[in-house]
């Protein structure tokens, strides 16, 4: 089974250019997670009879938004974060209410939860760092609740570079949005909770940084782009049991963001 995550930065533009259709035709993902769709489902005209589409759009038109396209029917769909978590962490600031920005959508399958997230940007002047300090633990608490029921996989645009290996110029970017101590600490918390990052595994296997020329060349050969998406897997053991519908090993899984994606292989026992 192939799972893809893509920050499309406006799905209507990607469809208009034909890039979205071309990508689906070439890679045939079983499940495609999207961030920053900037549209409602009714604003998108694309014929995909093999996919079920689940959208969680922002109330503000043309802003933020997430969606999941899947060939397999989920048991349930969760839009956003639970109300009690949103109230606990006070997910509103001067920029708006993040719970109304369509930032999280989660599908429940027989053997796991799959969640995709578009984390709020800290802003160039770091004025939204206080929100990030609330958002990251709020989303983590949501995931932690889910994993008490069954394994969890989550992906998306987390708007953070975790380590210096994730940047081409870490010294110049230290303390700037996406690479502040607060944002990196939020990422650390996911790992401490037991989630593993597939991007880090790819980085260590290749012996180069995600910002290094070798990997940049590899990415450009696949599809030119901008940023990094992380996948997280959490289960009680190394063998993650997936839904019965797979009936096979999950082979190639792709991590993709802003038309820029990294490929790795992940086998999971069923």
pLDDT band at 253 (very low <50, low <70, confident <90, very high): very low
Give the strand pairing for 92-93 and 196-197.
unpaired
190 — phi, psi (to 5°)? Answer: -60, -40
Distances (CA, A) of 124 to 22, 63, 132, 157, 166: 34, 18, 13, 17, 19
Catalytic residue among 89, 118, 190, 261: 118
pTM (2 d.p.): 0.78
Percent above pLDDT 90 for the chain: 59
Contacting residues for 75 by C-beta, under 8 A, at least 6 apart = 108, 109, 110
Q: Is 157 designated active site?
A: yes
Would you mind telling me the total number of residues written for the chain in this entry?
A: 270
Q: Is 118 designated active site?
A: yes
Catalytic residue among 54, 157, 166, 190: 157
> pLDDT, tens digit, for every residue of 166-206?
778 889 999 999 999 999 999 999 988 888 765 444 444 43
Name the CA radius of gyration of the chain, rounded: 18
Q: Which of left, alpha, beta for 216 (phi over 0: left; psi -120 to 50: alpha)?
A: alpha
Which domains does the chain carry? 3-265 (3.60.10.10)
Rounded to the nearest 10°, the torsion over CA 96, 102, 104, 108 is: 150
Residue 134's closest CA among 185, 172, 177, 72? 185
The confidence score (pLDDT) of residue 250 equals: 33
The confidence score (pLDDT) of residue 69 equals: 96
> pLDDT, tens digit, for every residue of 221-230?
333 333 334 4
Q: Which of 23-37, 62-76, 135-149, 241-255 has the lowest mean pLDDT?
A: 241-255
The confidence score (pLDDT) of residue 45 equals: 85
Percent above pLDDT 70 for the chain: 73
Spatial separation of the C-alpha atoms in residues 158 and 156, rounded to whole Å? 6
CA angle 146, 147, 148 (to 5 degrees): 90
């Amino acid at each position: 089974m192939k799972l893809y995550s893509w920050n499309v930065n406006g799905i209507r533009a990607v469809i208009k250019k034909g890039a979205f259709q071309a990508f689906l035709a070439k890679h045939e993902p079983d499940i495609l997670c999207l961030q920053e769709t900037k549209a409602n489902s009714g604003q998108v005209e694309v014929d995909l009879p093999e996919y079920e589409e689940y959208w969680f759009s922002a109330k503000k038109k043309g802003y933020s938004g997430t969606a999941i396209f899947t060939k397999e029917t989920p048991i349930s769909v969760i839009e956003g974060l639970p109300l009690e978590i949103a109230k606990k962490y006070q997910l509103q600031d001067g920029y708006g209410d993040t719970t109304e920005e369509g930032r999280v959508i989660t599908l429940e399958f027989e053997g796991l939860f799959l969640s995709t997230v578009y984390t709020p940007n800290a802003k160039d002047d770091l004025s939204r760092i206080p929100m990030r300090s609330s958002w990251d633990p709020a989303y983590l608490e949501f995931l932690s609740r889910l994993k008490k029921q069954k394994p969890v996989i989550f992906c998306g645009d987390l708007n953070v570079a975790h380590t210096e290996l994730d940047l081409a110029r870490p010294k110049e970017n230290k303390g700037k949005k996406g690479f502040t101590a607060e944002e990196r600490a939020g990422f650390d918390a996911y790992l401490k909770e037991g989630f593993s990052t597939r991007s880090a595994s790819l980085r260590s296997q290749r012996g180069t940084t995600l910002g290094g020329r070798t990997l940049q060349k590899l990415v450009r050969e696949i599809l030119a782009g901008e940023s990094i998406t992380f996948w997280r897997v959490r289960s009680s053991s190394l063998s993650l049991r997936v839904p019965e519908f797979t009936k096979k090993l999950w082979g190639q899984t792709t991590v993709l963001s802003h038309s820029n994606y990294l490929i790795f292989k992940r086998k999971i026992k069923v």
